[in-house]
Amino acid sequence: MALPELFLQRLQRIVPPERYEQCMRTFIEPPAVGARVNTLLTEREAVLEGLREAGLEPHLVPWYANAFWLPAHQRDALLGSEWVQSGRVYVQNLSSMVPPLVLASQPGEAVLDMCAAPGGKTLQMASAVRGEGQLVAVEAVRSRFYKLQENLRRHGAGFVQTLQAEGEWLWKRWKGRFDAVLLDAPCSSEGRFRADDVVTCRYWSLNKIADMVRKQKSLIYSAVQSLKPGGRLVYCTCTFAPEENEGIIAHALKKFGEAIEVLPISLDVEEMTPALDEWEGRRFPGGVRHARRILPSATMEAFFVCLIRKREVADDTT
């Protein structure tokens, strides 16, 4: 098994014992294929009917009407289908669809996607706002920025405003500008490790986690400052590491004090569990418990999701 021993030791302390065996299987077994109907270009029933006529087996998702999954062996057939090639279906892990649902962007709002490439979550939010209001997608890495632009164009979301920039500094340009911000933060990507592929975890280490934490702290500061009073932020990662999840929310609560609050997440997803109360002797503030971990399953990869509301204007100096 290619997974680092220290990672596995940490994982045993993070995942509930009754879910650990299932979690370990997800590092080995091929995952199901998640996908979303792109309602900017087509209708849900047309896609489902067409897939079934092509001999595929779309399984519906109870918590999101536009999502479905297929067995792992049908991945190539789906990717090669007219539905994906034409942009009417977007292939994406189901866990990645949760943060935009929690953010619940509405037509007419000003919405910011801070780390947007390759654009799956941006497209989902674009389907929700449908060009009414402002949706801005930001990406720092040039190659990923071009991929983002191409994905938006091909999937009928040309109305999205794009910007190549470092997310840490967006607040200086757009302080207090947005009703909703999505921060899918760069992370150690532990949820995407594969036991049969050493490349997926080759660069993992505690130092890597520490590097990510420094960046995440800067990004969440920028995200909160970019919100209007009353605005909401979803912070999410695809890692198990508490330092990058609960630790970042605890940091934000300390940084901004009463200016922000963590809200409960009402979305009913079977794989969701409450956030951790503590890690390595550090007890997290009570509000952190409202955040949710998605434990990996046959259809979903590991994720962390937190919903934050800005109560008032956060002082630059806090």
Question: Residue 142 is encoded by which pair of tokens?
Answer: 């040039």
CA distances from residue 286 to 169, 259, 294 in whole angstroms, order as listed: 29, 16, 19
Residue type, 48: L
Options 187, 201, 238, 306, the catalytic residue? 238
Q: State whether residue 303 is helix, strand or coil.
A: strand
Find all residues with CB under 8 Å of 87, minimum gap 6, and list them: 38, 41, 154, 155, 156
Q: How many CA atoms lie within 13 A of 245 on its CB side?
A: 29
Length of the chain: 318
Contact of 297 with 271, CB cutoff 8 Å: yes
Residues 54, 27: Cα–Cα separation, whole Å: 30
Q: What are phi and psi of 237, to 5 degrees?
A: -145, 170
Find all residues with CB under 8 Å of 278, minimum gap 6, and list them: 284
Query: Which residues, listed in sequence order, are joined to residue 67 by a DSSP beta bridge?
Result: 36
Contact of 44 with 244, CB cutoff 8 Å: no
Question: Residue 129 is encoded by which pair of tokens?
Answer: 């706002």
In the residue annotation, 115 being an active-site residue is answered as no
CA-closest candidate to residue 302, choices 60, 95, 103: 95
Question: Residue 197 is encoded by which pair of tokens?
Answer: 């592929």
The H or E element that residue 25 is part of is helix 17-26
Residues 92, 300: Cα–Cα separation, whole Å: 10
Active site residues: 238
